[in-house]
């Protein structure tokens, strides 16, 4: 995840992406990242592969909007990911609680 950011300048974004990565893997984390970037019109293909274009767009958007603003979009897309899972009716409350807890920590780090 740190290599996606290119530096340690955005600890809140790194934290929330890393938390999702540990729970859902790299491909799903890449997809929520790409969906968050697309909120601002990045036009990325949502394939979960965090290549050079996704990395550059991430760095550009963080520089333009700031970490706190970007975290809100990332949180929104993470929650949407969990809601789309087949097992949401069983595990959804716990997933969303974890998501909210991670978001709170990320905001403190930003």
Write down the pLDDT at residue 105. 97
101's tokens: 């807890």
Helical (H) or strand (E) element with 76: helix 67-84
Please tell me the total count of domains within the chain.
1
Residue ranges of the chain with pLDDT lower than 50? Answer: none
Decide if 17 contacts 1 (C-beta within 8 A).
yes
Cα(11)–Cα(91) distance, integer angstroms: 28
pLDDT digits (tens, 9 = 90+) for 52-79: 999 999 999 999 999 999 999 999 999 9
**What pLDDT does residue 39 have?**
96
Q: What is the pLDDT of residue 110?
A: 92
pLDDT at 18: 96
Q: Find out whether 20 and 32 touch, Cβ atoms under 8 Å.
A: yes
Q: Which domain holds residue 78?
A: 2-109
pLDDT at 6: 87
The answer to whether the CB of 62 falls within 8 A of the CB of 82 is no
């Amino acid at each position: 995840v740190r290599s996606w950011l290119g530096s340690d300048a955005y600890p809140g974004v790194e934290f929330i992406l890393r938390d999702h990565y540990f729970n859902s893997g790299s491909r799903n984390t890449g997809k929520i990242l790409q969906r968050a970037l697309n909120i601002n019109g990045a036009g990325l293909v949502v394939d979960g592969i965090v290549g050079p274009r996704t990395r550059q767009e991430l760095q550009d958007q963080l520089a333009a909007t700031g970490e706190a603003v970007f975290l809100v979009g990332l949180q929104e897309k993470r929650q949407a990911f969990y809601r789309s899972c087949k097992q949401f009716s069983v595990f959804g409350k716990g997933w969303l609680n974890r998501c909210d807890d991670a978001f709170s920590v990320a905001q403190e780090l930003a």
